[in-house]
Protein backbone atom coordinates (compact mmCIF):
# COMPACT_ATOMS: atom_id res chain seq x y z
CA UNK A 1 0.00 0.00 0.00
CA UNK A 2 1.43 3.37 -1.01
CA UNK A 3 1.49 6.28 1.42
CA UNK A 4 2.26 9.94 0.89
CA UNK A 5 5.45 11.42 2.37
CA UNK A 6 6.40 15.07 2.51
CA UNK A 7 10.10 15.97 2.49
CA UNK A 8 11.95 19.27 2.81
CA UNK A 9 15.07 19.23 0.65
CA UNK A 10 17.40 21.78 -0.85
CA UNK A 11 15.95 23.02 -4.15
CA UNK A 12 19.14 22.27 -6.10
CA UNK A 13 19.16 18.70 -4.75
CA UNK A 14 15.57 18.25 -5.91
CA UNK A 15 16.38 19.56 -9.39
CA UNK A 16 19.42 17.30 -9.73
CA UNK A 17 17.42 14.32 -8.50
CA UNK A 18 14.66 15.05 -11.02
CA UNK A 19 17.23 15.14 -13.83
CA UNK A 20 18.75 11.87 -12.63
CA UNK A 21 15.33 10.22 -12.43
CA UNK A 22 14.44 11.42 -15.94
CA UNK A 23 17.74 10.16 -17.37
CA UNK A 24 17.06 6.76 -15.80
CA UNK A 25 13.41 6.71 -16.89
CA UNK A 26 11.98 6.51 -13.40
CA UNK A 27 10.04 8.76 -11.07
CA UNK A 28 11.54 10.68 -8.22
CA UNK A 29 9.23 8.83 -5.84
CA UNK A 30 10.44 5.45 -7.11
CA UNK A 31 14.03 6.60 -6.88
CA UNK A 32 13.64 7.59 -3.23
CA UNK A 33 11.65 4.45 -2.45
CA UNK A 34 14.39 2.24 -3.92
CA UNK A 35 17.08 4.17 -2.06
CA UNK A 36 15.30 3.78 1.28
CA UNK A 37 14.66 0.09 0.59
CA UNK A 38 18.35 -0.54 -0.09
CA UNK A 39 19.41 1.55 2.88
CA UNK A 40 17.17 -0.31 5.33
CA UNK A 41 18.07 -3.70 3.85
CA UNK A 42 21.80 -3.00 4.25
CA UNK A 43 21.32 -2.00 7.87
CA UNK A 44 19.30 -5.14 8.53
CA UNK A 45 21.81 -7.42 6.81
CA UNK A 46 24.69 -5.98 8.85
CA UNK A 47 22.91 -6.82 12.08
CA UNK A 48 21.98 -10.34 10.97
CA UNK A 49 24.37 -13.23 11.37
CA UNK A 50 26.29 -13.89 8.18
CA UNK A 51 26.53 -17.54 7.22
CA UNK A 52 30.10 -18.70 6.77
CA UNK A 53 30.77 -20.54 3.52
CA UNK A 54 32.09 -24.10 3.58
CA UNK A 55 35.35 -22.88 1.99
CA UNK A 56 35.97 -20.40 4.79
CA UNK A 57 35.09 -23.05 7.37
CA UNK A 58 37.64 -25.38 5.76
CA UNK A 59 40.37 -22.76 6.31
CA UNK A 60 39.66 -22.56 10.02
CA UNK A 61 42.55 -23.83 12.13
CA UNK A 62 45.18 -23.79 9.37
CA UNK A 63 47.24 -21.02 10.95
CA UNK A 64 48.41 -21.46 14.51
CA UNK A 65 48.58 -18.42 16.79
CA UNK A 66 50.00 -18.60 20.29
CA UNK A 67 49.30 -14.95 21.12
CA UNK A 68 52.96 -13.98 21.66
CA UNK A 69 53.67 -12.51 18.22
CA UNK A 70 55.23 -9.07 17.93
CA UNK A 71 53.76 -7.85 14.63
CA UNK A 72 55.94 -4.75 14.50
CA UNK A 73 59.11 -6.78 14.94
CA UNK A 74 57.98 -9.25 12.30
CA UNK A 75 57.40 -6.37 9.89
CA UNK A 76 60.81 -4.86 10.68
CA UNK A 77 62.46 -8.22 10.05
CA UNK A 78 60.58 -8.55 6.77
CA UNK A 79 61.67 -5.08 5.58
CA UNK A 80 65.28 -5.67 6.58
CA UNK A 81 65.33 -8.98 4.70
CA UNK A 82 63.57 -7.49 1.68
CA UNK A 83 66.02 -4.61 1.22
CA UNK A 84 69.29 -6.47 1.95
Task: Look at residue 29 and tell me if it is in a domain.
Answer: yes
Measured distance CA(11)–CA(26) in Å, rounded: 19
pLDDT at 40: 83
What pLDDT digit, counting tens, does each position of 16-48 carry? Answer: 999 999 998 999 999 999 888 888 886 665 555
Task: Look at residue 38 and tell me if it is in a domain.
Answer: yes
pTM (two decimals): 0.48
What is the span of the domain harbouring residue 19?
9-47
pLDDT at 29: 92
pLDDT at 28: 92
Task: Look at residue 24 and tell me if it is in a domain.
Answer: yes
Task: Look at residue 72 and tell me if it is in a domain.
Answer: no
What pLDDT digit, counting tens, does each position of 52-66 carry? Answer: 777 777 777 777 767
Task: Look at residue 14 and tell me if it is in a domain.
Answer: yes
Q: Considering its fold, how many domains does the chain have in total?
A: 1
In this predicted structure, the answer to whether residue 49 has a pLDDT above a threshold of 70 is: no
pLDDT at 2: 86
Closest CA to 20 of 35, 41, 36, 1: 35
Amino acid sequence: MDSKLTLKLDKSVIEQAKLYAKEHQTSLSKLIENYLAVLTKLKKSKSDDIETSSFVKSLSGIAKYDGDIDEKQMYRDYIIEKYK
